[in-house]
Amino acid sequence: MGLVGKGSGNGQRVRDEILHIMHRHHISERAGHFYEQWHQKLHNNTTPDDIPICEALLAYLKSGGNMHKYWEVLSANGIDQNRLASYERKITEQPYYLPDTIHDFEEYLKILKQLHSSNDLQILVDEARGHLGGDGNSAINDVLHNFGDFDTLRQMERVTRVRELLARDHLKADQNNQKVKDVLFLDLCLETYVKTLSDRIVHIDIGFEAYVREVGILLANLSLSYRWQEIKVCLQDWRGLAVGLCQGHSINNEDNARKVKSILDRIRCLLGDVTDAFTEQI
């Protein structure tokens, strides 16, 4: 679902607005240049690739016409010349410099993300806000206001709290929620955000207590994403053990060391079971 994108019924708006931008800035509709080729692709079949194409165009325009910035953004998203030329409506030309269009394409990028993106947190929050309730809105505001927090684990805990509220209030099998799609895609985005935060510190020695804390956060998120009961059991055991470890109670005790290894071994086996279960579906 995360790969497909949420969708928002704005397909016609995508087609209309690119044409409005071209008219406002007197961009020719004759074939043979980037803007017209992209317009034809958007009109014929807009896809998630149009998001990085628009981001690459903006990077080029904001850099004063540095074409390297255009290809840098595309390359970071796995798009090269061959891929651009493989669309049914091919894009074979490079953009030319139109700095007056920057604002319009920034707004156009928002339209594209509303249609295609499943990982733009602000957009998904805006669409789900009306269903989150007081606790949910307060918790998500705490996440949004702390993107720059130096304590990555603390931000991971904030995100986990939001996911726990979504699971409690919206994502139970017996709940009749007509707006579950908005909430579900928000949860998918938050799940990805936790991974991004974890990746940010994966190569840093954060110390024993922080590692114990991080494992607990990641286990909590796994328990929200998968229905394996063993995840919840491991999480409960880990939290019970972690309290003593993080308070400095007998950290070097051999019995505690064996308990830590036992839980980690169970987690390793559990993740293997998860992988096998999904592999069997392929």
Domain ranges of the chain: 11-118, 123-279
- What pLDDT score was predicted for residue 244? 66
- Let me know: does 43 contact 70? Beta carbons within 8 Å: no
pLDDT (0 to 100) of residue 66 = 96
| pLDDT at residue 4 greater than cutoff 60 | no
What confidence score (pLDDT) does residue 246 get? 60
* 244, two tokens: 């003593």
Residue with tokens 């394996």: 228
* pLDDT above 70 (res 194): yes
Confidence of residue 118 (pLDDT cuts 50, 70, 90): low
| Residue 82 pLDDT exceeds 70 | yes
What digits encode the pLDDT tens for the residues 265-276? 998 898 888 788
Q: What pLDDT, on a 0 to 100 scale, did the predictor assign at position 199?
A: 83
Report the pLDDT value the prediction gives residue 2, as an integer from 0 to 100: 57
Tens of pLDDT along 207-223? 878 888 899 999 999 99
User: Stretch 234-262: mean pLDDT, rounded?
Assistant: 74
Q: What's the pLDDT at 178?
A: 56
Which pLDDT value is given to residue 150?
Answer: 87
Round the CA-based radius of gyration of the chain to a whole number and report it.
23
Considering only residues 148 and 142, tell me which one the structure prediction assigns the higher pLDDT: 142
pLDDT of residue 219: 92
What pLDDT score was predicted for residue 60?
97
pLDDT band at 170 (very low <50, low <70, confident <90, very high): confident
State residue 52's pLDDT score: 92
pLDDT tens for each residue of 6-33: 555 566 788 899 999 999 999 998 888 9
pLDDT at 247: 60
**pLDDT one-digit tens code per residue, 120-141:** 677 778 878 888 888 889 999 9
Residue of 71, 19, 73, 70 whose CA lies nearest to 42: 19
Residues 6+ apart with CB under 8 A from 39: 18, 19, 22, 29
Neighbours of 57 (CB within 10 A): 25
